[in-house]
Each structure stands twice: as structure tokens, then as C-alpha cells.
Structure 1
Amino acid sequence: MSEYLVYLVEDEENLSEVLKAYLEKEGWNVRVFHDGDAARDVIVDKPHLWILDIMLPGTDGYQLLKAIKEEADTPVIFISARDQDLDRVLGLEMGSDDYLAKPFLPQELIIRAKKLLNRIYGTTTQEQKKIDLNQYTIDPVGRTVVDEEAEQDSLVDLTTKEMDLILLLTGDIGKAFSREKIIEHVWGENYFGSERAVDDVVRRVRKKMPRIHLETLYGYGYRILSS
């Protein structure tokens, strides 16, 4: 996928125009918002990526991040000129996927955004086949899971991280993945939180997809078995 929808929330108009130009050079569809209230009104659009300044008129970046994550687990990059360490820690704890401290080069934002988009949505093509596993149909391209046993083939409501975990483990059935590898794939290399986050996502996946044989390898990690 190349035509991503990116929402940029930045109250500095000159900076926002520069960043918008760089983002559009990548072929992405970019909308700019100069205050948090205007951005909050369009959370239901569910763009592929949010880029949020923390200090905003009206609804600030923290409030906006919370509202975004309550709607959907859409990836978010925080940008801020305030206390870098504090903002980075608070942002990541609240669910942001990456953080950039001002001032930064626009190209650095592009690199971070590309890496995040590729990790979340992949560089997949339509040639990838759907995976049929225990009456679940997993679509790596559409990033959906359909429960074939449910009435009218119901979609399983998975968050971004739950979907990332499923795609990682079902991409190589039977292979054991360490917690460190899962964190790198699902949260990214910059994640520094507890490995318990992996266990929490696994627990939620098991609840939502009870027929999946998601096996715990104690002291190491997880794997999915075909039967």
C-alpha cells in the first residue's frame, strides 16, 4: 500500500506546511489540523497514521491520543518541543508508537513514518494468500480475521497489535517466537516497556479466537500450532 491517509496535527503553520509537503512526496494523502478540537472531530475517519504535536490549542496531544486509541488502535507518532524524556515516556505509556523531539529534520519524520507504516500494514501484495486455520480465515493483505463458525461469517474485532501478533505467528505455523522478537515486530525496536505487554496481547487473542492453538513456551515465548 502506498496511498496512506495521514492526519497531521500541528499548530505551527509553517512547520505543518513543510511536513505536509514532505509527506505528500511519498504519495500519501495528508490532512493538516491546527488545533486538537478539529482533529478530535475526525477520529472516526480512522486514518492509517496520526502525527500529533503535544502542545495544541483546545484538546492537547495527550487527550487526543487517548481519544484516538479509544476509537481504534491507529498508529501515532508524537512530536514535541517540551521535556523530551517525560513526553516520550508518557506518550509511549499512553499508546503512542513513536516519538520525535523538536527540532528534527523532516526526512527523519518520513523515515520513522515509513518504518511504522510498513510494520503495521506491511509491504504485502495481493499475491499473499489467505490463511485458513481452525475455521478462521486470516487475510494478511486486508488485515482481517473472519470466524467461519460464527453466524454470517463474523469479523473478529482485533486491535492493531493483536492483528500484528496473529500475522507474525501464523506467518510461520509451528515456529516459536521469543518475547523479544514479538516485541520488536509488534511494538518496534524503540519499545522499552515490560514484556508483560506480550502476555496481555496473547491473552486477548486467546479470548477473541478461542479455537486458535496459541501455545506458551514458558521462559521463552509463543507459537501457533496447526491443530
Structure 2
Amino acid sequence: MSYTIYLVEDEENLNELLTKYLENEGWHVTSFLNGESAQPYICQSPHLWILDIMLPDIDGYTLIKQIKNHDSDVPVIFISARDADIDRVLGLELGSSDYISKPFLPRELIIRVQKLLKLIYKDETQKKRITVSSYEVSEDLREVYENGKLISLTSKEFDLLLFFTNHQGRAFSREDILIEIWGNDYFGTDRVVDDLVRRLRKKMSHLKIETIYGFGYRMSKS
């Protein structure tokens, strides 16, 4: 399974080195050089955060509070140049799963990440997966793969894919899709449905999404 990891480390050389080591394990890594640039990504809920405590702007303690407020279950590994007991204790109190002190060998971090991911997500591979055309869709993980490669979808794109997947062969009007994906409180044109379908088709060209002119869309059964 390919996991998504977000790394926040302000030392540029170390950031690049750790990113390469993590990617060599087959994981999808997004790295940040400061806390401010990482903040907009908190809502995306990766499988793991790796946070340096001492950052130039927003420290790791502030970030982990924000991360845990959004998703209390996501694991976090703290890294720090300080090997102080108070940092370890405070990190645990705030919800960190592990703590590693600098300097450390990149391989040590990899081993810790492997063990933590295996512990946290040991049952994920057993969860329901749906095969659609040439794609493997995991509803629980909200991930889509083609030939083992992760396809990056937005939340709305995945919602639409799942809606079509669970109702293959049925035709839906634009209004039906609008209500399903955006909810009853959405105010705007139903042409957003056309745009969303277009984006999904572009990213997943093998999906059999048919346009029913003057009405809406249908995904044919695989």
C-alpha cells in the first residue's frame, strides 16, 4: 500500500534528504520548509505527519494542535534538535505518536515510520476495495489506483466517482448529482456538475461516463 506523508522540516538539505528516503519506500511525500506553508494542507488528512518542533515561524506544537483539531486520529512523529524530556512529554500530551532527536540517520526515521504505519493501518489492506474499469477504488481510504499508481483526486471528484461507482448503469440528472455532491444548500448553476465530470474524465479516462444530452450522466457497468 502507498501511504501519503507530509513532512515539515526547515533545514532544506535535511528536508530534501528525508524526502528522498521516504519516497524510495514508495510513499507519496509532500514536504514543507515552514509551518505556514503546511497549514493549508492540514484539512487533507495524510496518513502521517512528520513535524520538526523548532520551525522559523509556527512551531511544531502549534501545528500538531491544529492537525489534531482537524483529525485526532492521524499519527504524528516529532523531530527536534533538542533531546529534552519535556519535549517528549509535551509531544505525547499533544498527541504525537513518536519522537526522534537530531542528529539521526535517515534510515532510523524510515524504520520508525514503517513500524508506526504498520501499527496504525494494519487492517487497511483488508478493507473494501472496488474495481472499476482499470481502477481500484478504496472507499475507506478515499484513494484510487491504476496499475498500482495513485491518482490524485479532489474531495468532490472522489465523491462523484464513488457516487457513479455505487450506482453503475443508472442515469442521473444534473440536479440529482448537484444535490448528492454539493447538498441541498448549494446556490449556483448546475453547470458545476459538467465541470466536475470533465475533470474526472480527464484524470480517469477509462471510466465509461456517458453524457445524456439535455438530462445528465450515467456510468456504464464495467
- What TM-score bracket applies, with the shorter chain setting the length? 0.5 to 0.7
* Deviation digits for residues 34-67 of structure 1 (CA, Å, limit 9, x no counterpart): 0111111210011110000000122110000000
Q: Which ranges of structure 1 fall in alignment gaps of 5 or more residues?
A: 130-140, 145-227
1:8 aligns to what SS in structure 2? strand
In structure 1, give the amino acid aligned to 2:79: I
Closer, same or farther: CA 14–143 of 1 in aligned 2, 3 Å = closer
Question: Which residue of 2 is the match for residue 37 of structure 1?
Answer: 36
Question: Which residue of 2 is the match for residue 105 of structure 1?
Answer: 105
2:125 aligns to what SS in structure 1? coil
- State the shift of 1:4 in Å: 0.7
Question: Which residue of 2 is the match for residue 75 of structure 1?
Answer: 75
TM-score (norm 2): 0.56
Q: How many residues are matched?
A: 132
* Deviation digits for residues 163-207 of structure 1 (CA, Å, limit 9, x no counterpart): xxxxxxxxxxxxxxxxxxxxxxxxxxxxxxxxxxxxxxxxxxxxx
- State the shift of 1:27 in Å: 0.3
C-alpha RMSD over aligned residues: 2.1
- State the shift of 1:86 in Å: 1.5
Could you tell me how far apart the structure 1 residues matched to 2:34 and 2:123 are? 32
* Deviation digits for residues 136-187 of structure 1 (CA, Å, limit 9, x no counterpart): xxxxx9379xxxxxxxxxxxxxxxxxxxxxxxxxxxxxxxxxxxxxxxxxxx
In structure 1, give the amino acid aligned to 2:68: K
In structure 1, give the amino acid aligned to 2:38: A
Superposition map of 1:114-153 within 5 A: 114-122=114-122, 124-126=124-126, 142=140
Q: Percent identity between the aligned chains?
A: 62
Question: In terms of Rg, which structure is larger?
Answer: 2
Could you tell me how far apart the structure 1 residues matched to 2:67 and 2:125 are? 28
Closer, same or farther: CA 36–125 of 1 in aligned 2, 3 Å = closer
Superposition map of 1:170-181 within 5 A: none
Question: Which residue of 2 is the match for residue 13 of structure 1?
Answer: 12
Closer, same or farther: CA 124–47 of 1 in aligned 2, 3 Å = closer
Could you tell me how far apart the structure 2 residues matched to 1:122 and 1:83 are? 30
Could you tell me how far apart the structure 2 residues matched to 1:4 and 1:143 are? 10
Closer, same or farther: CA 27–89 of 1 in aligned 2, 3 Å = same
* Deviation digits for residues 13-39 of structure 1 (CA, Å, limit 9, x no counterpart): 000111001000100010110011111
TM-score (norm 1): 0.55
* Deviation digits for residues 79-126 of structure 1 (CA, Å, limit 9, x no counterpart): 001242121111011100000010111011001101111111116534
Could you tell me how far apart the structure 1 residues matched to 2:122 and 2:14 are? 29
Question: Which residue of 2 is the match for residue 85 of structure 1?
Answer: 85
Could you tell me how far apart the structure 2 residues matched to 1:113 and 1:95 are? 16
Could you tell me how far apart the structure 2 residues matched to 1:114 and 1:5 are? 13
1:44 aligns to what SS in structure 2? helix
In structure 1, give the amino acid aligned to 2:31: V
1:96 aligns to what SS in structure 2? coil
Could you tell me how far apart the structure 2 residues matched to 1:143 and 1:11 are? 29
Runs of 4+ in 1 over 2 A off after TM superposition: 123-126, 141-144
In structure 2, give the amino acid aligned to 1:125: T
